[in-house]
Structure formats: C-alpha cells, structure tokens
Amino acid sequence: MIARFFKPKLPDRRTKIVCTIGPATSKDSTLRKLVKEGMDFARFNFSHGHLSEFEQWAKTIRKFAKAERRKVEIIQDLQGPRVRVGTLAHEGRTIIAGHKVVLVFDAKAELRRGEIPIENDIGLDLKRSDKILMDRGLIELEVKKIEELRVVCRALTSGHIFTGKGVNLPSTESKAALTQKDLEDIKHGLEMRVEWIALSFVEGADDIRELKKHIKDSVKIIAKIERPQAIHNYHDIVEAADAVMIARGDLGIEIPFWKLPVIQKRAIRRARNAGKPSIVATDMLGSMVVAQRPTRAEILDVANAVIDGASAVMLSDETAVGKHPVEALVAMRKIIEEAEDFKRTHELKSLL
C-alpha cells in the first residue's frame, strides 16, 4: 500500500500526436474525445474540405481544449502545387504495360482520341526518359517525346486510373511552392489564428522564406519533405523552417521506396541536431482506416519513430476518414508511451 502511494510519477508523454480532422471526426462529440484522449495538434488539410468546416472545427477544438485543460494547436496544411489526372469518363482509363500513353498537360485543351488530360499548376519541365508516376506510383510511364503540352509516353506498368488521381514528376522542379490557392488559404488561416502552416512540396529554403513574407511572426512553418530536391537541400530547409514533416506519402513515390527508412532516420537525427522538431507522417496506422487494431508492422513503425527521436507522429486517413478514429488515437498513444518508457530505461542504463 505504501509503495503504491509513493510510486514515482512517470514523465509526461513527450512525443506529440497530430490528428488530421475530416468527415470521420467532424462531430463535436468525436472532437472532444480526440482532445481528451491525447490529440496535441489538429491538422486541417486544405487540399480537401471547405473553409466553413475548418472555421467551425477550430472553434470547437479550442473550446474543448480549454475545458479539458489541454494545449491543442492547429496546423493548416497547404495543398501546394499539385498535378492530377483531369476529367475522365466515369469508368476511368486502363493503361497497359508496353503501350503508348499520351498525356495532355492542359485540362482545358481539346483532346484527341485516347489522350489523358492532366491538371497541372507547376509548369512543364519534362525531358525524354523522365519517369511519370500516377496513382501513388502504381502506374509508371517513361517519356518518349514532348510536343508542346502533349507528352508521349510508354507505359512501364499496367493499371487503371480515374479522375483526380495524383501524378508525380520526380525529375521536375516546381516553379514555386506557393500557388494562388495557397495564398488565398493562408489569409483564411491567419483569420482562424492557426499556430502552424505546413508548406507542401518544399524544394529549398527559398520556399520557406517566400512563405514568411505572407504570414505573421507568431505563426510557425512546417516544411514538408516529400520531394527528392528537399532531401538534397535538407540542411538549408531545416535551418529556415521551424519544424519538418517527413511526408512519406509523396516522398515514398518520388524516391525508390527502399531508401525511405534510412532517409527518415537521417532526417529525424539531423532535425534533432539542429534543435528543430520533426513529424513522421503517412500510413503510420493505415490499416486502422478499416480495422480496429493496427498491424504488428505498424506498431513497430510508430515505436521506431519514437525511439529514433521523432518529435511527433501523425494520423492521416485514420482520423480523417477512418472507421475508428478515436481507437486509432488511443492505439498510437499507448505505443508511444511504451516506446518512451523503453527509451528512458535504455538511456538510464547507458548512464550507469
């Protein structure tokens, strides 16, 4: 009995949790549960959703955070320069390996038979032999010829695409990380008093400096690392930004996937050395979009990020559109607590 009363209190959880807010977590009752169960940051993805929703969520989250005496900050995640498949027929389009595929990088252009429209706001900087990846990298094309805005490719893999699917151009450089949509969204974010702005598809420190011209000093910047150019310029990006996010979704498409684990570990370590927070994002508990429990691999993924020294880990679809958003948060919190307990014990032993 005495031992129970004098049991030392464990340190508070140090690794923070970012929850993406979406249709699955839009109800007040669910938002309150997220705040109560350990959400430290609420991420609003401005690639989707409506401004009125974001404004209401911000008010609700702040109300519940105050009631629960917890600090919950809001992250505005900008869409950035996106490239997507334009409007296709409802049934989509089948692509067969070895066949010719013609992409038209102008969604408003008049299409010839069989051509695929691409919505593009980053400019066109392709050359022969470049790779084009579609639908999370499942479809790979190789550029054979460029005729103004028409790009003739050969399909290296087969697949089926639909309107709105993402297109990645690993070899190209964006003209700017900020689009006109981003600039409009930033104004709304400042009115909502967001604490953080996440800048998508950062390629260099200049992108961070450009964003700083449009925001208040009180708002902090997260540089999303999701392009090969960002890895090359990582040192300068870390110095310019307030935090970095290892955004494994697009990053895992634009670089060879087997390089991702080492890049993640190096990015976390270099951010720590620079005294900057790092966030590991995408597919951390991806199976919990539909399942009630995470896979063993996902449990290890979260734990290893914590042990490596990540400042925060993020839930994306798990809380935005998943069937079990609160359960996903609780699962992540428990994994973090166990990993941190191991880390503290290990560090203590190394000092003895």
Distances (CA, A) of 263 to 177, 218, 246, 252, 280: 22, 30, 9, 10, 12
| Gap between the Cα atoms of 238 and 236, Å rounded | 5
Active-site residue, 13 included: no
| Gap between the Cα atoms of 21 and 76, Å rounded | 11
> In the β-sheet with 116-120, what is the strand arrangement from edge to edge?
83-85, 116-120, 100-104, 150-155, 139-147, 131-134, 167-168
Q: Which long-range contacts (C-beta less than 8 Å, at least 24 apart) are formed by 224-227?
A: 224/77, 224/80, 224/198, 224/199, 224/200, 225/251, 225/267, 226/200, 226/201, 226/202, 226/250, 226/251, 226/254, 227/170, 227/174, 227/201, 227/202, 227/203, 227/251, 227/254
Active-site residue, 62 included: no
Residue of 62, 82, 84, 293 with catalytic role = 84
Residue of 15, 20, 60, 282 with catalytic role = 282
Active-site residue, 60 included: no
- The amino acid present at 292, given as its one-letter code, is Q
Residue of 224, 227, 276, 333 with catalytic role = 224
Residue of 15, 25, 43, 172 with catalytic role = 43
Active-site residue, 43 included: yes
As annotated, the active-site residues are 43, 84, 224, 282
